[in-house]
């Protein structure tokens, strides 16, 4: 009975400790990370994309990526169906029925760019145990260091967009993803996908300016003549062109999803049909880190588990003076 009472006392004490930790949630909880005022990113406008895939080829060239065969049968063609460790950017198509009308849900088609969205509060960075995934404090670009990577693939599991991909063909194992051509920035260049886009469907620039441009477009009257910038929105390095405004879905994908992303998207077809599921506004990394800090802050949970294990171990050990045989 005494042992049972001791166990109940310890259990109650452990519950009180966990409850005490829970009351500290507000103190240890953190909100979404804030974006840098100088953060750079992309604005992708599905209505302007013509599916030429010039951005896919430019990305390959700028990053020195090899050909990526979808199946052995298509070994003569570089036609990946999704991003891989060898393909950082792809253009996917939505098609319904006859697929005769661009940017329409019924009997229509639309294009969507798939690449790293460079989250403001990235789950991949939070999950990486060795800081192989990092976020630049100024540009906000989520970069990858293969020399630091241990191949655990936590980043692959953590990303809500399924972007980081593990290279199973590599003898050491490594991750492949878009890094927004950060190696080109010191040269005064920018993301190759935006540089080559003939219609301005992919724009590079400061996120604050890209967001303002996205909101301008959503406010346009459908059919009204407007100006479409190309290349680098911040520097205006390429000539713009004029054309009619489409009927947009009134939503900027990436403005608030999981704390916001530095790649923003516009479309005339609902985003769930373009491969983008609805996501909460709070980042997953802020939720997981809050939980970790609550449970492990002050070693409350490990000590509680250790205490329980110690009690179980002692209960199952017979002392020499409790009826054991003596030599």
Output the domain CATH number for residue 183: 3.30.70.20
Number of domains, the chain: 2
Could you count the other beta carbons within 10 Å of the beta carbon of residue 73?
8
Does some domain include residue 326?
A: no
Mark whether 12 and 158 lie in a shared domain: no
Mark whether 11 and 59 lie in a shared domain: no
Domain range for 266: 40-277
C-alpha span between 98 and 113 (Å, rounded)? 22
Mark whether 45 and 24 lie in a shared domain: no
Does some domain include residue 323?
A: no
Does some domain include residue 120?
A: yes
Which pLDDT band, with edges at 50, 70 and 90, does 165 fall under?
very high
The per-residue pLDDT for range 185-215, each reduced to its tens digit, is: 999 999 999 999 999 999 999 999 999 999 9
Mark whether 22 and 91 lie in a shared domain: no
The per-residue pLDDT for range 255-304, each reduced to its tens digit, is: 999 999 999 999 999 999 999 999 999 999 998 876 555 554 555 555 55
- pTM (2 d.p.): 0.81
Mark whether 224 and 257 lie in a shared domain: yes
Does some domain include residue 327?
A: no
Mark whether 27 and 49 lie in a shared domain: no
CB 143 within 8 A of CB 131: no
Mark whether 59 and 158 lie in a shared domain: yes
State whether the Cα torsion 68-71-74-79 is positive or negative. Answer: negative
Does some domain include residue 324?
A: no
Mark whether 53 and 134 lie in a shared domain: yes
C-alpha span between 233 and 189 (Å, rounded)? 13
Closest CA to 114 of 81, 70, 77: 81
pLDDT at 163 over 90: yes
Residues pairing with 260 in the sheet: none
pLDDT at 67: 85
The per-residue pLDDT for range 53-72, each reduced to its tens digit, is: 999 999 999 999 998 876 55
Which pLDDT band, with edges at 50, 70 and 90, does 3 fall under?
low
pLDDT at 299: 52
Does some domain include residue 325?
A: no
Does some domain include residue 71?
A: yes
Mark whether 86 and 120 lie in a shared domain: yes
Does some domain include residue 320?
A: no
pLDDT at 173: 83
Mark whether 23 and 75 lie in a shared domain: no
Mark whether 81 and 9 lie in a shared domain: no
Q: Which residue has the higher pLDDT, 190 or 307?
A: 190
Which pLDDT band, with edges at 50, 70 and 90, does 126 fall under?
very high
Crossing angle, helix 284-296 and helix 2-23, to 10 degrees? 140
């Amino acid at each position: 009975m005494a042992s049972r009472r001791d166990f109940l006392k310890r259990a109650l004490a452990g519950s009180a400790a966990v409850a005490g930790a829970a009351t500290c949630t507000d103190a240890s909880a953190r909100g979404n990370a804030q974006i840098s005022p100088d953060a750079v990113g992309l604005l992708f406008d599905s209505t302007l994309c013509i599916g030429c895939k010039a951005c896919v080829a430019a990305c390959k060239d700028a990053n020195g990526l090899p050909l990526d065969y979808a199946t052995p049968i298509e070994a003569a063609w570089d036609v990946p169906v999704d991003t891989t460790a060898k393909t950082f950017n792809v253009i996917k198509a939505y098609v319904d029925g006859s697929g005769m009308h661009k940017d329409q849900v019924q009997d229509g088609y639309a294009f969507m760019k798939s690449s790293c969205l460079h989250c403001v509060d990235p789950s991949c960075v939070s999950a990486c145990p060795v800081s192989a995934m990092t976020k630049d404090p100024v540009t906000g670009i989520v970069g990858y260091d293969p020399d630091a990577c241990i191949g655990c693939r936590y980043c692959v599991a953590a990303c809500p967009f399924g972007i980081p991909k593990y290279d199973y063909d590599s003898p050491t194992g490594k991750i492949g993803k878009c890094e927004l051509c950060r190696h080109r920035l010191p040269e005064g260049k920018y993301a190759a996908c935006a540089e080559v886009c003939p219609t301005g469907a992919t724009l590079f620039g400061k996120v604050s300016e890209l967001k303002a441009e996205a909101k301008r477009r959503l406010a346009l009257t459908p059919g009204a003549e407007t100006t479409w910038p190309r290349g680098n929105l911040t520097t205006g390095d390429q000539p713009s062109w004029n054309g009619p405004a489409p009927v947009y879905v009134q939503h900027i994908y990436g403005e608030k999803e999981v704390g916001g992303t530095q790649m923003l998207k516009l479309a005339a077809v609902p985003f769930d049909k373009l491969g983008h599921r609805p996501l909460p506004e709070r980042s997953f990394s802020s939720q997981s880190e809050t939980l970790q800090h609550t449970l492990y802050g002050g070693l409350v949970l490990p000590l509680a588990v250790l205490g329980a294990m110690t009690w179980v171990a002692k209960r199952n050990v017979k002392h020499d003076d409790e009826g054991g045989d003596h030599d």
